[in-house]
Each structure stands twice: as structure tokens, then as C-alpha cells.
């Protein structure tokens, strides 16, 4: 039997159904950005690495306002969200040489939202050749880089925004 070693997944497995409240609000309210994987704080939104990514450098742009409704945000907040998404893609393309992105919102449980009460914009970098048989045959995704390494690599560029 082949084994895929991914010890950071244990944190996720142990936390399922134990986490109370909104993890985005909690991360934004705390001051330890490194622990919370926050790369940038804007006026209305922040950029945070997804702790359980679909791909390396999968991040999210989320408003400080706890809301599920995009239209309840001010136009300034929506504008900043898209501006930060664009800057994020620019940084990832420059530093990590991504070939493309999957981006967007999952609005509501039926749309695949894991967190339905706090809107967030996903940015998932893609590289030519980043797909293989593991997700199809083994229902396993292999992330090529540890999340702390990705954070350390991206942080200097985000601090210049």
C-alpha cells in the first residue's frame, strides 16, 4: 500500500464540528497574523491563506464585516475586495509562476460554501500539469508545498500593497 504523508491534515480532521463561531472573524480579530495566515489587512477586507487548500497558495479575500450577502457590503468594500483579488493574482503569478486561476464565491450551502455566513472570494492558483490521477482514483489532493513556506514566500510582497 502506498502512503501519502500529509500530517497537517490531522489538525483539520480533529477540528471538524468542534469549531465555534466564524473562523474568518476570529482570525481578523486576533493580532497574530502569522498564526492566522493573514497576508494583508486592507481598510475593509483582508487576504488570508486557506488553511485547507485545494492547491498551494489558495487564498481568500474576506471583508471584516460578517455577512453572507455581497450586496450588503459597501461599494468601497466590494471594490477593495476585487482590487485585493487582482493584486493577489499578480503576486502569485510573479512569485510562484502560476499559469492560471480558479476564482470566485461559493454563495450558500448548495453552491459548495463551507462557511455560509461570511462571504469570501477564493483565489486558487493553477499550474500546467498540476492535475494527476490522485484526485480521480484515490480521492486525494497532493499539495506541493507546506502552507507555512507559502506564507513566508508571499508575505514580503503582500506587505508592499
Half-sphere exposure of 118 (CA within 13 A, CB side): 18
Our CA angle for 96, 56, 136, nearest 5°, is: 125
Eight-state DSSP code of residue 95: H
Is 120 one of the catalytic residues?
Answer: yes
Cell, residue 52 = 485547507
Tell me if 60 sits within 8 A of 92, measured CB to CB: no
CA distance 46 to 107: 19
Residue keyed to cell 481598510: 43
Of 66, 120, 122, 146, the catalytic one is 120
Q: In what helix (H) or strand (E) does residue 31 lie, and over which residues does it extend?
A: none
Taking alpha carbons only, the member of 116, 92, 94, 117 closest to residue 102 is 92
For the annotated catalytic residues, the residue numbers are 120
Amino acid at each position: 500500500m502506498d502512503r501519502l504523508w500529509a500530517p497537517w491534515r490531522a489538525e483539520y480532521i480533529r477540528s471538524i464540528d468542534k469549531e465555534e463561531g466564524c473562523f474568518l472573524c476570529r482570525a481578523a480579530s486576533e493580532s497574530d497574523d502569522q498564526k492566522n495566515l493573514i497576508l494583508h489587512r486592507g481598510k475593509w477586507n483582508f487576504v488570508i491563506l486557506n488553511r485547507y487548500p485545494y492547491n498551494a497558495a489558495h487564498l481568500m479575500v474576506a471583508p471584516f464585516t460578517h455577512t453572507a450577502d455581497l450586496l450588503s457590503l459597501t461599494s468601497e468594500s466590494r471594490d477593495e475586495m476585487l482590487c485585493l483579488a487582482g493584486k493577489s493574482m499578480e503576486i502569485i503569478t510573479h512569485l510562484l509562476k502560476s499559469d492560471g486561476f480558479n476564482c470566485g464565491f461559493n454563495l450558500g450551502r448548495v453552491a459548495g460554501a463551507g462557511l455560509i455566513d461570511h462571504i469570501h472570494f477564493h483565489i486558487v492558483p493553477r499550474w500546467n500539469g498540476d492535475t494527476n490521477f490522485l484526485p480521480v482514483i484515490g480521492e486525494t489532493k497532493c499539495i506541493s508545498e507546506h502552507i507555512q513556506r507559502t506564507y513566508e514566500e508571499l508575505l514580503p510582497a503582500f506587505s508592499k500593497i
